[in-house]
Each structure stands twice: as structure tokens, then as C-alpha cells.
Amino acid sequence: MRVVALLLALAACAHAAPQATQPNTAVQVVAADSLARRQLVAVAQVAPSIRQEVRYASRNNFTGEVLPGYGAAVVLLRREAAEALGRVQARLAAKGLGLKIWDGYRPVRATLAMVAWCERTGQTKLLDDGYIARRSRHNQGVAVDLTLVELASGREFDMGTPFDEFSARSHTTNATDTVAANRQLLVQAMEAEGFTNYVDEWWHFSFVVADAAPYDLPLERW
């Protein structure tokens, strides 16, 4: 397998759970684009009823800019994760509910841009606190940011904070009443198909595959 060594400013999982098992090494080995094309799949092909709003392909995100590598508003995941997400959607649909995705696979260059934004704007505390990570499961196509919606209307459930609010209010268990119940409903639905929630971000879930590797294939070239 051809690989490309790509300098990664520091390292770890942006918008994805920080990974204690991945040291902050200076160099990250990135898999070839050809492998990414074989291993990633469009979620819309596997589960077309899942709604999508790819935030980083627009200016409607915390940086205020379209991130590098997001030249197309498409959600990709490793096939195993996409199929598991399809099963979550099927379970929810039986109750009149569904999922809405904000982000899936994220090119390494986009993670680098997030880190650079933190450093440029003096918000490196977001890196220290794990809200923006330097190496990401999103880069491997095994993490997804999403919420619950009403299946028919697409109306989002009240989760207490917007997507990408970097504060303690976004911690999954830091909620009461309806918001707590909604977050727990999402967690239970995702965990039933093998996803794990990142406790500091109610919207972030990851999936385990044996041969996960980071990619830098731009979405517009998939």
C-alpha cells in the first residue's frame, strides 16, 4: 500500500474524541488516495433517508470559512461505519425518527486547518481541552457528527446546544429534563449498533474498524 508522509502540525482528533492511544507525533502516515476511494462510501448510497448538512463545506461553521478538502458537500464513511449507521436509521425510522449528519470523513488537510485556526486566533485552549484535536478519527472515516430529527419533517430535537459549541454545556451528560432525554435517546440508538460517544460532545460518535488509517483525499475528488 502506497503511503504518503504528511506533516501534521501536532496531532489528535478534532471534533472527534481525543485519542489517548495516538501520541502527538510530528509525522502522521496518510494512506493513499486510491485506498481511500476503495474503503470510503457515500452514506447517501447506503442510507439515503439520513439527512445531511455538511457544515465544513459551507461558511456555517466555527471558522467561518469552507475548510480545505470540502469542495463537495458529501458525507463519506468507512463502509462498516456507514452500514452500521444505516441500521441506526432503520431502528429510529420505526419510531418516526431519524438522523441528520453534519460531518463524517474529514481530510487531514481540514484538521490541519482547524488547528491552524486555533493558533491564528489565539484559541489554543480549544486544543488543550480536546474540543479541537490534532489527529482525528474523522480522518479515518470512522467518526460522525450528528443529531436526531423527526423523520418526516426533519425538525431537529432540542439537544441544549448547537453543533460545535465548545463548552461544558455540550458535555453529553451535562443536561436535564428534555435535553437529557434527547441526548440519551441518541446515545442509546448509536451504541446499539457499535458506536461510542465522545463524552465532551453530545454529537460526536466513533466506530471501530481493525485497519483504520487516516486519509487526505479531498471530498471533491472522491
Residues that are catalytic = 201
| Angstrom distance (rounded) from CA 118 to CA 147 | 25
Show pLDDT as tens, one digit a residue, over the chain (222 residues).
Answer: 433 334 333 333 334 333 333 333 345 789 999 999 999 999 999 999 999 999 999 999 999 999 999 999 999 999 999 999 999 999 999 999 999 999 999 999 999 999 999 999 999 999 999 999 899 999 999 999 999 999 999 999 999 999 999 999 999 999 999 999 999 999 999 999 999 999 999 999 999 999 999 999 999 988
Q: Which residue has the cell 449528519?
A: 101
- Host H or E run for residue 171: none
For residue 10, what is its C-alpha cell? 501536532
| pLDDT at residue number 24 | 37
Per-residue confidence (pLDDT) for residue 10, from 0 to 100? 32
Q: Residue 22 carries which side chain, given as an amino acid letter?
A: Q
The pLDDT of residue 29: 84
Bridge partners of 61? none
Give the pLDDT score at 221: 87
Give the fold, CATH level 3, of 3-221.
Answer: Muramoyl-pentapeptide Carboxypeptidase; domain 2 (3.30.1380)
Which pLDDT score, from 0 to 100, does residue 222 have? 84
